[in-house]
Amino acid sequence: MLILSSCNKKETVDTMELKYPETRKDTVSTTYFGEKVSDPYRWLEDDRSEETAAWVKAQNELTFGYLDKIPFREALKTRMEKIWNYERISAPFTEGDYTYYYKNDGLQNQSVLYRKDSSGKEEVFLDPNTFSKDGTTSLADISFSDDGSLVAYAISEGGSDWRKVIVLQTKDKKVVGETLVDVKFSGMSWFKNDGFYYSSYDKPTGSELSAKTDQHKLYYHKLGTSQKEDRVIFGAEQKRRYVGGSVTEDNKYLIITAANSTSGNELYMKDLTKENSPIVTVLNNFDTDSYVIDSQDEKLYIVTNLNAPNKRIVSVSAANPKPENWVDFIAETENVLNPSTAGGYFFANYMKDAVSQVKQFDYTGKLVREISLPGLGTATGFGDKKEAKTIYYSFTNYTTPGTIYSFDVANGASKEYQKPKVDFDSSKYESKQVFYTSKDGTKVPMIITYKKGIELNGKNPTMLYAYGGFNVSLTPSFSVANAIWMENGGIYAVPNLRGGGEYGKKWHDAGTKMQKQNVFDDFIAAAEYLIKEKYTSSEYLAIRGGSNGGLLVGATMTQRPDLMKVALPAVGVLDMLRYHTFTAGAGWAYDYGTADDSKEMFSYLKKYSPVHNVKEGVSYPATMITTGDHDDRVVPAHSFKFAAELQAKNKGQNPMLIRIDVNAGHGAGKSVAQTIQENVDIQAFTLYNMGVRKLK
């Protein structure tokens, strides 16, 4: 339970006397369609300069000095470590002669990949905690060959999207061939035991953390040869930003997807049973999202939103796979479809108001059964090889830690396989789904989770978290950090904004380009609903989001600084005029448009771009920006420039801080220690600025 005290000047005297590091202002500017836009902090885009490094160090000294003074920070950390310290085991999967699974004893920085042989003897197969001393090198991906005798695994160093790939013999873990380097935005898909397909860009000139990369290529690496000899399969002649290749389970077809943005892709296939077979075009435009989910004999099964905004599965002969020959296999419904295959069946995972419903179909398209789930929440998994008899799925929601269930594909029986022992009493908490009205009358769902019996008096610390973009759906899931927040009397609220994928392509498109303001309006309306219904008030409301969600927070706090007490933009896209000039940023244009597109698009972006909308003399909510110095997806310059603007222009005593993780990227692969400390600092900062001085 939180003890709240009034936030008077004496209690926040340290906050009021914050001395921000000096940030040099330049006279740099860019002219867009005749309009000159100044960019005084552009020098912070140079992630390799000593001046930027010194600025990062000074900002961190200030921020961590501030956080160190929060009286209950250590108590929060002690409690979070205690809850976090529980054994976590993944669903098992079989490759060759072994059964593999991931396990974390509790506070290990990275989960360890174990295996058992037929005798049941357990051994460590790969331990990412040994990859680096500080736990910041992670296992990013893993792919086994056809018979399981070989494995390719990718590692990420310091959270970077650039990866290295190592191949081992699984029997004795002996390294095979050389380590592949400079692999980015790639899977690894084996063709039998001969080699595998992967994707990458040519290494850019300049900084690999921020320089633009926009020509992706699909390569084939034949085992026992040098990476220099790897053949380009697709992308040398065709300039595409994102290219992926995967081999069907029967090793008959190579499926290639190619895209220039994060939405919409071309689709190609190549018959691997015939030497030097041509690449056949299935779809030659970027108007839809389509991919091959499986093949059987000469038939392909394709998941698509072509003429089906909520997606459907079609079947077609591989001999003539053009869309005019597609036949509905699982037709579109009113709910969004996310299917998988396992055990000789299709599993249609539908999302109804952000909650899972799963149906099992056979290969004739006949419904076998609707699967009974443990409750309302998110079910994931249901994926395995065709011959699997028992498969696995995970179920979670905001109050239920992820529990793994086994599933018998023949009779539909589910059994609890692994339930984590978390020091958190779920029975004391509840979730409620509400539908509120946005500015233009659109109904938007939101799930609000809190301790049972909470008093709706407008004084509950509330974390409003959202994303709202890139067709991403926020479905219920358990988080230790959120459990701590609610344990201390906080409310956790997640609205499913437009721009996401919760209601299909139409819902996504309604939050893109010249309709992006809908996303911010939906978020503002969620906050206003929580305040109106007395869950909280502006004095006890924090808004949080990461990446595109960081943009959401930045835009909302600059448009409605009066609405919340605390703003927490993480790894955000905050300079909307220049985002497309860094790394793969140009690929986000489907959602955002770019300042180069047209005068209208430039003006629209400039109107909400957080970096360009910090106003002199405005009192902004207490803000802690978070980013990583090795973020090569949303480069940290976005956050650096936004922090500089806030520190220079904010009126009043609310702190404008930036917390920069060192040797960390966009979030993937972050160590447990880093994750715990970041969540502790976010909650400590938030509660302190809401007037909390002591945790009971």
- Where in the sequence numbering do the catalytic residues fall? 547, 666
Nearest CA among 102, 61, 113, 105 for reference residue 81:
105
Q: Could you give the CA distance from residue 230 to residue 310 in angstroms, rounded to a whole number?
A: 38
Q: Could you give the CA distance from residue 186 to residue 667 in angstroms, rounded to a whole number?
A: 17
Nearest CA among 148, 132, 135, 149 for reference residue 104:
135
Alpha helices for 510-623 (secondary structure H): 517-532, 548-559, 589-592, 599-608
| C-alpha distances out from residue 18 to 62, 218, 301, 617, 643, Å | 8, 51, 60, 17, 14
CB 384, CB 294: distance < 8 Å: no
Q: Which residues contact 629 (CB under 8 A, 6 or more apart)?
A: 47, 56, 636, 660, 661, 662, 663, 664
Size (the chain), residues: 696
Tokens 């973009």, residue located: 469
Q: What number of helices (H) and strands (E) belong to the chain?
A: 11, 41
CB 658, CB 643: distance < 8 Å: yes
Dihedral sign, Cα of residue 224, residue 228, residue 233, residue 235: positive
Q: Where are the beta strands (DSSP E) in 134-213?
A: 137-144, 150-157, 162-169, 180-184, 189-191, 195-201
Specify the pairing of strand 122-126 against strand 443-451: unpaired
Q: Could you give the CA distance from residue 338 to residue 351 in angstroms, rounded to a whole number?
A: 8
Q: Could you give the CA distance from residue 111 to residue 341 in angstroms, rounded to a whole number?
A: 26
Q: Could you give the CA distance from residue 163 to residue 154 in angstroms, rounded to a whole number?
A: 6
Nearest CA among 642, 684, 442, 446 for reference residue 557:
642
492 - beta bridge partners?
Answer: 449, 463
Q: Could you give the CA distance from residue 677 to residue 21 in angstroms, rounded to a whole number?
A: 23
Q: Where are the beta strands (DSSP E) in 145-278?
A: 150-157, 162-169, 180-184, 189-191, 195-201, 216-222, 231-234, 242-247, 253-259, 266-271
> For residue 85, how many other CB atoms are within 10 A of its CB?
17
DSSP for residue 278: P
Q: Could you give the CA distance from residue 366 to residue 384 in angstroms, rounded to a whole number?
A: 20
Alpha helices for 29-162 (secondary structure H): 50-68, 73-84
Backbone angles phi, psi at 680, to 5 degrees: -60, -50
Angle formed at CA 262 by CA 236 and CA 254, multiple of 5 degrees: 50
Q: Could you give the CA distance from residue 210 to residue 479 in angstroms, rounded to a whole number?
A: 31
Enter the tokens of residue 24.
């040099």
| C-alpha distances out from residue 311 to 333, 369, 475, 501, 591, Å | 8, 20, 18, 11, 19
Enter the tokens of residue 417.
């396989």
Enter the tokens of residue 212.
């633009």
